[in-house]
């Protein structure tokens, strides 16, 4: 890993080069050996990220342009405007709604650990016949927008970029 600081992106340039209606992750941190993940996300006016819960990671959300609301529970909302920094603690439920100017934000969180194949253990030892690791195919859990694997076993929206998962 190269430990030399470097400019990875100029977000104004990325935003200017995006198609007018483009939504989702416009950029993400992809350097090898990193301990962080970051996503630069744009939601057009009226769009949103459906209610979801991140069980593993705290997320820092920094609004860069536009505005909207963060729904945190029944009847509970936080207003989002440029320069608003919001902490989304792990296990918190949340949903985003872009306002009339859309919503552009940066999320930063600890890098999610890679998937690991767990060794199968005989049911008699563990006491359950359905244990033994991940299912053989995780394609239903891969976000079509950013490629992130969801921790949710039945995802509706990606917690990283807001892209909707196909219904099955």
Compare 127 and 85 and report the one with higher pLDDT. Answer: 85
158 within a domain of the structure (yes/no)? no
Compare 5 and 145 and report the one with higher pLDDT. Answer: 5
131 within a domain of the structure (yes/no)? no
- Number of independent structural domains in the chain: 1
132 within a domain of the structure (yes/no)? no
First to last CA, the chain: 40
Residue 133 pLDDT exceeds 60: no
The enclosing domain of 93 has a CATH number of 2.60.120.10
What local confidence, expressed as pLDDT, does residue 129 receive? 46
For 125, the enclosing helix (H) or strand (E) is: helix 123-126
Tell if the pTM clears 0.85, that is, is over it.
no
20 within a domain of the structure (yes/no)? yes
Residue 31 pLDDT exceeds 60: yes
pLDDT band at residue 122 under the 50/70/90 scheme: very low
pLDDT band at residue 160 under the 50/70/90 scheme: confident
Range of the domain at 59: 11-113
What is residue 123's DSSP assignment? H
136 within a domain of the structure (yes/no)? no
What local confidence, expressed as pLDDT, does residue 120 receive? 46
């Amino acid at each position: 890993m190269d430990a030399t600081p470097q400019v990875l992106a100029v977000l104004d340039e990325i935003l200017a080069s995006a198609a007018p209606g483009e939504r989702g992750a416009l950029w993400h941190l992809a350097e090898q050996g990193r301990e962080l993940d970051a996503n630069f996300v744009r939601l057009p006016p009226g769009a949103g990220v459906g209610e979801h819960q991140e069980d593993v990671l705290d997320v820092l959300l920094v609004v860069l342009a536009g505005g909207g609301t963060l729904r945190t529970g029944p009847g509970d909302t936080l207003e989002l405007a440029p320069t608003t920094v919001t902490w989304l603690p792990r296990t918190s439920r949340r949903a985003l709604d872009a306002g009339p100017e859309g919503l552009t934000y940066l999320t930063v969180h600890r890098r999610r650990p890679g998937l690991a194949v767990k060794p199968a253990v005989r049911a008699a030892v563990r006491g359950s016949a359905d244990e033994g690791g991940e299912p053989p195919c995780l394609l239903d859990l891969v976000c079509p927008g950013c490629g992130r694997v969801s921790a949710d076993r039945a995802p509706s929206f990606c917690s990283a970029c807001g892209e909707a998962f196909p219904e099955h």
